[in-house]
């Protein structure tokens, strides 16, 4: 299991479900200072209180995304003797919350924005597509431009599709981008659902920040709007989170969490298809190139209008013409 660069080394553990006893398991307890600083009442409040899991309604009010569905925490995970939720993937070697603010699932959203490869004229790229990606600053890995879902004043989480739009613009568009309105249209909603987006995954992700008592879950959406993305130039966004942004040709090697699995799932559910217009342009271009570089295929009318005995080009045509 991968470990975040700011984490202490994970203790030795055997990856097995919590139902199987392990008397030798001794995890390292770790809470990042940023989480402590934002723990109520001292901090801004985005992190749980240290004993939030002891509240009698904790497991009955918290939700979890698991295997494509949303359910109560009490119905989908196990709890230890003190009442802390246990990572459904099993032991991780680190207890408590690490960099994650909430006990149990921490909700995020990941947009998979796909476009046809801009080099449509190249035979290798005709059937290729690209994915918008960012280079994370915290671990130096390529990832989808996603992020954590914000909470409203009433404690409810914003829709994952709204988070996708916010994080995409923050991480790979920068400020004052000249195509912001067009991108907003790509992420627009109709009756609460994305007009150009499809859900491809909803559940737990294998994140290097995961601990025994806190883990990441995500909703991944596939967005496609070629008239917007065809000319969309990515720029490095929030300098505190990303170090770069670019379109990567699929198959691409995303090493953060299991983002590559999310992309592969999106392509499995919704395979990339070459548009008829793109294919027609390709055929027309290469037909013209073939015709231009194959003299024996030139029409007879070419030399008929330039027929001269002293014209070398015409003499060549007359000598090679098929009759």
pLDDT digits (tens, 9 = 90+) for 240-281: 899 999 999 999 888 898 999 999 999 999 999 998 988 999
Answer whether 143's CB lies under 8 Å from 136's CB: yes
Taking the domains of the chain in order of start, what are their residue ranges? 28-277, 278-320
Asked whether the predicted pLDDT for residue 321 surpasses 50, the reply is no
Report the candidate in 39, 63, 37 with the shortest Cα–Cα distance to residue 51: 39
Report the candidate in 150, 75, 77, 152 with the shortest Cα–Cα distance to residue 108: 150
Rounded Cα distance between 194 and 186, Å, is 8
Asked whether the predicted pLDDT for residue 153 surpasses 80, the reply is no
**What is the sign of the dihedral through the CA atoms of 238, 240, 241 and 244?**
positive
> What mean pLDDT comes out for the span 231-236?
92
Of 16 and 263, the structure prediction assigns the larger pLDDT to: 263
pLDDT band at 298 (very low <50, low <70, confident <90, very high): low
Which pLDDT belongs to residue 312? 53
Asked whether the predicted pLDDT for residue 45 surpasses 90, the reply is no
The answer as to CATH 3.40.50.300 being correct for domain 28-277 is no
Which pLDDT belongs to residue 233? 94
pLDDT band at 203 (very low <50, low <70, confident <90, very high): very high
Answer whether 60's CB lies under 8 Å from 74's CB: yes
SS (H, E, C) the chain: CCCCCCCCCCCCCCCCCCCCCCCCCCCEEEECHHHHHCCCCCCCCCCCCCCHHHCCCHHHHCEEEECCEEEEHHHHCCECCCCCECCCCCCCCEEEEECCCCCEEEEEEEEEEEEECCCCCCCCCCCCEEEEEEEECCCCCEECCCEECCECCCCCECCHHHHHHHHHHHHHCCCCCCCHHHHHHHCCEECCEECCEEEEEEEECCCCCCCCCEEEEEEEEEECCHHHHCCCCCCCCCCCCEEEEEEEECCCCCCCCCHHHHHHHHHHHCCCCCCHHHHHHHHHHHHHHHHHCCHHHCCHHHHHCCCCCCCHHHHHHHHHCCC
Answer whether 160's CB lies under 8 Å from 172's CB: no
**What is the sign of the dihedral through the CA atoms of 56, 61, 64 and 68?**
positive
Structure tokens at 230: 């065809």
For the chain, the maximum distance between any two Cα atoms, rounded to a whole number of angstroms, is 102
**What is the sign of the dihedral through the CA atoms of 104, 4, 166 and 250?**
negative
Which pLDDT belongs to residue 85? 96
- Strand partners for 69: 66
């Amino acid at each position: 299991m991968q470990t975040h660069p700011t984490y202490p080394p994970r203790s030795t553990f055997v990856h097995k479900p919590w139902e199987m006893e392990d008397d030798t398991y001794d995890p390292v307890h770790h809470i990042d200072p940023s989480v402590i600083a934002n723990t109520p009442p001292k901090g801004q409040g985005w992190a749980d209180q240290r004993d939030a899991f002891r509240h009698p309604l904790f497991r009955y009010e918290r939700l979890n995304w698991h295997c494509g569905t949303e359910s109560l925490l009490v119905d989908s995970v196990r709890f230890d003797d003190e009442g802390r939720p246990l990572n459904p993937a099993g032991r991780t070697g680190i207890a408590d919350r690490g960099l994650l603010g909430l006990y149990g699932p921490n909700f995020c959203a990941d947009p998979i924005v796909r476009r046809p490869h801009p080099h449509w004229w190249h035979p290798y790229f005709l059937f290729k597509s690209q994915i918008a990606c960012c280079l994370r600053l915290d671990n130096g890995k390529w990832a989808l431009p996603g992020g954590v879902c914000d909470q409203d004043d009433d404690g409810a989480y914003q829709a994952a599709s709204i988070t996708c739009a916010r994080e995409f613009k923050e991480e790979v568009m920068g400020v004052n981008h000249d195509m912001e309105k067009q991108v907003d249209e790509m992420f627009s909603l109709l009756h609460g659902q994305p007009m150009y987006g499809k859900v491809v995954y909803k559940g737990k992700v294998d994140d290097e920040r995961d601990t025994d008592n806190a883990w990441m879950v995500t909703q991944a959406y596939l967005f496609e709007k070629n008239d917007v993305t065809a000319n969309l130039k990515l720029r490095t966004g929030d300098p505190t989170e990303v170090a770069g942004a670019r379109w990567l040709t699929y198959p691409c090697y995303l090493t953060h969490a299991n983002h590559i699995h999310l992309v592969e799932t999106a392509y499995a559910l919704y395979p990339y298809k070459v548009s008829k217009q793109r294919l027609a342009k390709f055929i027309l271009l290469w037909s013209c190139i073939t015709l231009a570089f194959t003299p024996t295929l030139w029409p007879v009318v070419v030399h008929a209008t330039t027929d001269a005995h002293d014209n070398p080009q015409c003499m060549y045509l007359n000598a090679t013409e098929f009759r």
